[in-house]
Amino acid sequence: MVEKPTFETTGEITRFDERDTVFSREALVSGSPEETEYHRLNPDMADVDARLARFIVSKMEGGEDVDQLARAVYESHFIPPAALALPGMVDGTPESSRIEWDREGASARIKEFAYALGAEDVRIGPLRQEWVYSHKGSRPFFREEYVNPPYFSGTPEDYQGKLYGDAIELDHPTAISIAFRQEKEMTATGSTRAVDFEVGRVYALSALVSVQLARFIRALGWRARAHHLRNYLVLCVPVAVDAGIGELARCGYVVSRSLGANFRLATVTTDMPLACDGPVDIGMQDFCSKCMKCATNCPSGAISDGEKIEVRGVRKWKINPEACLLYWGKTGYTCSICQAVCPWTKPKKLLHRGVAAVAVNVPWLRRALVLGDDIVYGAKFRPAHIPEWLRVAGGRTRGSSGR
């Protein structure tokens, strides 16, 4: 554990508007009031956003050239979490009576609860206001009131971010960062429907677990709000760095000592008194400066192979999210090549734990470890085969047929 996160700050960190994320922009419906207003203020984004939108529209609505099996996977994994995103799911009024535990005991119980539900790593840190979105930007699920007792019972008092463009104020002091492992056999297939499956599976699990954990905490008498794929108020990556899941890496994700880059995050924020973990230094800033594997293997050129630059008060390797998402649109599938090729993404075996310990503790050997990884696993990404049950025989496919 270290006192402060390993990324450098260069001044005031300004809060990020969720409306500016590529995932919010791709979801803008052409001609809607939200789209019209956004592109009136950001006219230079209009063309690229229209191109970004094609990927998600094809996934949601299908069409002549769309892989129907991949769309079925999307339907299975990405639609149900939308129900878990409703106001009464992610948030709510806590029980009036409270169970009080000491901070250490409460943290231990919260972590065990999340592990038992399927989390792979759980860390607790302070919620810094810099990581709270300034405005809500995800697609407007909440135009209508949802009344579907007993669970979808409208909008809880003090609920934040009901509508697109709402200003966000979240005063929970603590964030529980939850990591979920993706199976490398699936994400190492490149940009295929196996990746769609795995990413969707893990996102759906993370949505359910975060909602369950938040409901658990509220039922214990404390405020708690789940933040998952379909409904975030916070940026899960820097929250995870503050909590000690791992370090911010060249690929733009958190890289963890035990999970590598191959995982997804959800967060629960709360006012429950909890003992915090702390940020970690596993040597990623130095390791990534000696390793370019994600950058050299990224098919869209979205990952920087250069130096860090300043982004809203933080010095980091800046990724190009538009290039990444346009590549997904081109192939028709989610891509996870950068997560699969990272030398830290390895099975939980004794040998790999030993190598990770060397990487953390012996800085002068890191360049040799990068080279060794290239020799053993290949410097160039070699796609794994997708499982037979996710192949299409005689059906209509798009992208690389049979894969």
| Residues at the interface with ligand SF4 (CB under 6 A) | 249-251, 255, 261, 287-288, 291-294, 298-300, 302-303, 324, 327, 335-338, 341-344
**Rounded CA separation 374/293 (Å):** 9
**Residue with Cβ nearer ligand SF4 (207 or 251):** 251
Q: How far is CA 191 from CA 195, 283, 294, in A?
A: 6, 29, 14
**Residue with Cβ nearer ligand SF4 (194 or 233):** 194
Residue with tokens 């809203």: 312
Rounded least distance, CB 269 to ligand SF4, Å = 27
**Residue with Cβ nearer ligand SF4 (177 or 256):** 256
**Residue with Cβ nearer ligand SF4 (74 or 142):** 74
Rounded least distance, CB 196 to ligand SF4, Å = 12
Rounded least distance, CB 251 to ligand SF4, Å = 4
**Rounded CA separation 231/279 (Å):** 25
**Residue with Cβ nearer ligand SF4 (24 or 107):** 24
**Rounded CA separation 157/18 (Å):** 22
Rounded least distance, CB 358 to ligand SF4, Å = 14
Nearest to 54 by CA among 309, 312, 326, 246: 326
Q: Does residue 242 contact residue 9 with C-beta atoms inside 8 Å?
A: no
Nearest to 343 by CA among 295, 306, 293: 293
Rounded least distance, CB 204 to ligand SF4, Å = 19
**Residue with Cβ nearer ligand SF4 (38 or 287):** 287
Rounded least distance, CB 237 to ligand SF4, Å = 13
